[in-house]
Structure 1
Amino acid sequence: MVTLRTDARRNADRIRVAAVQVFRERGLSAPLEEVAAAAQVSKATIFNRFGGRVGLIDAVLDDVVAAELRRVIDDARSVVEIRSRIRSYVGALRDIQYRVPAVNDVLLQEFPDSEQLMALCHAGGAFHDHLVAEGHAAGVLVSEFTPTDFQALTIDNALALKYGVRPSRSDYDRRTTFVLGGICRSVQPSA
């Protein structure tokens, strides 16, 4: 294990703190110059300490977005009734997509060389598959709705938020209600 000098360790810590702030506010593709300026180091220092953007993303992904995304999944898992679980999860996922631009970079798999980012994507995809299967088994989701549709909804939303005109929060929340109204049956079929 290589021990860093005190100043090098301090620089690495400042870079991590700055990266968390910049990536949460601007997304994982924010210019590294912004991270360097916020950390009061040169861009070269980021490359020396982390090997570049992907190394920096891997170093801070948990603090930027992974912990919060895992919490959204865990919170949804704790909801007993499947209709409520789906509504809770979709609402929470869309909320975090709106609040934290880095989530959209994760969902769009913008940095496929990041093993941590891709592992997070795969965990989310597996949860989507499970949620859709449970929703169908309980008759809560319309029969035509597939795991691929679920993935497309999250990616379409990510693309719209990343590259489109950002709607007001009230319009965004209203559209979340439309999404849920379209995929969930209004009345459960009789058994």
Structure 2
Amino acid sequence: MTVIGVFALQGNVREHLAMLGQVGVEARPVRRRSELEQVDALVLPGGESTTMDKLARAFELFEPLQKRIADGMPVFGTCAGMIMLANEITGGIEGQETLGGLDVTVRRNAFGRQVDSFEADLEFAAFNTPYHAVFIRAPWVERVGRDVEVLSTVSSGPAAGRIVAVRHDRLLATSFHPEMTGDARLHGYFAELVRSL
């Protein structure tokens, strides 16, 4: 059976574990290197990207995570998880590093502060009906590499046209929090990606 881990040092860990369970995969929290070694893929949840960076180092997970990503482990990054996967960030704090692997430039807190949180219906080619997304202190993608597929953009309002979901081979990332919607389609999409490898 496919086993997908959830980086469990910060963020909506329980919610991601529940969504993965809904789409028929075994889901486990990952806090240690030994737990990382037992999963086929990983979800990097939302949270605070600089704190996630520090915690990953404190728990000696940063370098093992970087290596697994470089070796081709599928990863789904949401909100801060998108920032952690990006090869390049703007608006970060001095010295902030990412795990890398995703050939994009991401702007941290691009949509504003907590009070600027919003919800929007997004179109995805893979889905028949719009996906209702929740954005909280969300990043957006400012540049995509040649092999990166844009999955969705904001369709209206001041942020119209901003890229909020991308895929590059085995790496999937969204600006928003799919675990907060009750809609498991993106977790299902990731699970299918993992099963297909």
Question: TM-score, with normalisation over the residues of structure 2?
Answer: 0.24
Larger relative strand fraction: 2
Question: Which has the larger Rg?
Answer: 1
Larger relative helix fraction: 1
